[in-house]
Chains A and B, each alone.
Chain A
């Protein structure tokens, strides 16, 4: 059935099947496109991280000595714009998702391979425009572009940055369409919905958000740009407009967007934990339904970003209640991951360290979100470092760690090489420690009232800020290490077998790296997901 190649044999695979730069720039192979994206978002991640580092250096001292305050505004704005739209949103879906999803379904490629390549070019165009706005002098409105600051008073290249984001939105939309159609129509015979790995369910849920939420952001940015250019618009109180309308439309996208950032991360974790517990995922259907529930209920909660903005208190109460509801499916997933590990045969490999770290840090971040969902508490901690800690626990402690875990997990399949395990574990621990040192103090700072988006602060906050900056440098080291050794392993790593982790999933039944068309013979699936028992012999589980 599956072809087994000896590691080290140079068979024809998707990397060497064609040569030359054009074979990469004009490829329609989902695996090559995944690598194009990986290259792009990694570069953008380090750019966004550089802005973060500058911010943390500024905050070493209370008087804001490093940069002037207007520059500081630009730093946190560009950090947010790059990290949200040009790293987090595309990261797992367009790298790991692009690579793994068709293979996990047994397919030869996505439904629309040319559209996939177009997605990447659109993404690069959007990034180029946004970067141009940075190099021309930047934007200082915050990544949230609130009116009337963005439409009337901000200095800086607001429209240009908005256009960059607008363009990149179409990349998201095309990816979402591609994934949804692929999952509906291109599963191989026998692969029913409830036999799909949870990775696919979560990618599907994320794709629903891509297609339903992103267009609203697109038109909202157009409206902001029109108002800024023509000095008249729908958000302008002088004409009866409502600045809060902008916030409603913006957060209608941006809250589900955070679930775009976390659902793929959960997808990765749902593959890693069963593998290194040598046990099927506990409560498969509950996790599958929870993925869908997170996507759907996530559309109903956006008003919790606007509790203090002047919204009706009755609307606020509705949004608060719904925000508590959305935590439930996430909690279900955490319980199920934990139950998967219970009495499992745990191997603390690098991906598993990242996955376990995800579960802990996501839980802390999620629970701090419950604090914020309470209007009474939110009134005190909104726009403080408490909120910053909350979302960084989820997006960095969660999504970035899951991204790194996933890159390590699928690295043998993608590159055909093993990464150095010791360095992998060392980096995972460095990232975990550095992350917590950076962001835990920020919960305390926020609780005691340190404002976000301020380049200076009251002197009593300095100690915790120094700790946070120290953590940030450790975190930076933790990110640079994998960059170095993964690139090193591409050339010098030990050749990888087909299935180094001896796990289930159709992608592991191909050689590492896979051939261009993934499967020589179309697989037929006759087993449940994570069915280690049924495949005991084939996986040499003993």
Chain B
């Protein structure tokens, strides 16, 4: 194929899937699941993001390098999150000497 293309069928199914996932996450949001609420919300959003990136943005169909770029971006965001959180998660811990 000349250009990374998604079929009309895939576009429609993705659209409907995204709407369904929005409804799902909204309904789940009405349940009290404690600290899991935000986790589930972000997980569903990640699935939606995967659909948008993969189908509507053709990441699953185009140049392999594009997929490398996307994965690289995700990793770099995670580096920022993770290493910063080593500070935020351990800020209140005792020093090794016990003080």
A pairs with B: yes
Residues of A within 8 A of B (CB): 184, 212, 216, 244-245, 248, 252, 299-300, 302-303, 311-315, 318-319
A contact residues around B83 at 8 Å (CB):
300, 302-303, 315, 318-319
Interface pair B86/A315, CB less than 8 Å apart: yes
- Also in contact, A315 and B90, with CB within 8 A (given A212-B76, A252-B80, A300-B83): yes
**Chain A interface main SS type:** helix
Chain B residues whose CB sits within 8 angstroms of the CB of A318 once the complex forms: 83, 86
The 5 A-B pairs of least Cβ separation, nearest first, read A315-B87, A312-B90, A315-B86, A314-B90, A312-B91
Interface residues of B (CB under 8 A from A): 65, 72-73, 76, 79-80, 83-84, 86-91, 93, 95-96
Q: Are A314 and B86 in contact, with the CB atoms below 8 A?
A: yes
The answer to whether A313 and B86 touch (CB under 8 A), given A252-B80, A299-B76, is: no
23 interchain pairs, CB-CB under 8 A: A184-B65, A212-B72, A212-B73, A212-B76, A216-B80, A245-B84, A248-B87, A252-B84, A299-B79, A300-B79, A300-B83, A302-B83, A311-B87, A311-B91, A312-B87, A312-B88, A312-B90, A313-B95, A313-B96, A314-B90, A315-B83, A315-B86, A315-B87
**B76–A312 contact, CB under 8 A?**
no
Quote the shortest CB–CB distance from A321 to chain B (angstroms). 12
Q: A184-B65, A248-B87, A303-B83 are in contact. Are A314 and B93 (CB under 8 A)?
A: yes
**Which chain A residue shows the least CB distance to B94?**
A313
User: Main SS of chain B's interface residues?
Assistant: helix
Distance in angstroms between the alpha carbons of A430 and B83 in the assembled complex: 43
Which residues of chain A have C-beta atoms less than 8 A from B79's C-beta?
A: 299-300
Q: How far is the CA of A433 from the CA of B78 in the complex (A)?
A: 45
Q: How far is the CB of B89 from chain A (nearest CB, A)?
A: 8
Contact B65 A312 (CB under 8 A): no
B18 to chain A, nearest CB (A): 26
Output the least CB separation between A305 and chain B (Å): 13
Q: In the complex, which residues of chain B have a beta carbon less than 8 angstroms from the beta carbon of A314?
A: 86, 90, 93
Which of A184, A212, A248, A313 is B84 in contact with, Cβ under 8 Å?
Answer: A248
Pairwise interchain contact A312-B93, C-beta atoms closer than 8 A: yes
Once bound together, how far apart are the Cα atoms of A315 and B95, in whole Å? 12
**Residues of A with C-beta under 8 A to B91:** 311-312
Alpha-carbon distance between A212 and B77 when the two chains are bound, in angstroms: 9
- Distance between Cα atoms of A244 and B90 in the complex (Å): 14
Assembly CA distance A300 to B65 (angstroms): 24
Q: How far is the CA of A474 from the CA of B87 in the complex (A)?
A: 44
In the bound complex, what is the Cα–Cα distance between A313 and B89 (angstroms)?
A: 11
Q: Which residues of A contact B90 (CB under 8 A)?
A: 312, 314-315
Q: How far apart sit A294 and B70, CA to CA, in the bound complex (Å)? A: 21
Q: Determine how close the nearest CB of chain B comes to the CB of A320; give it in whole angstroms.
A: 12
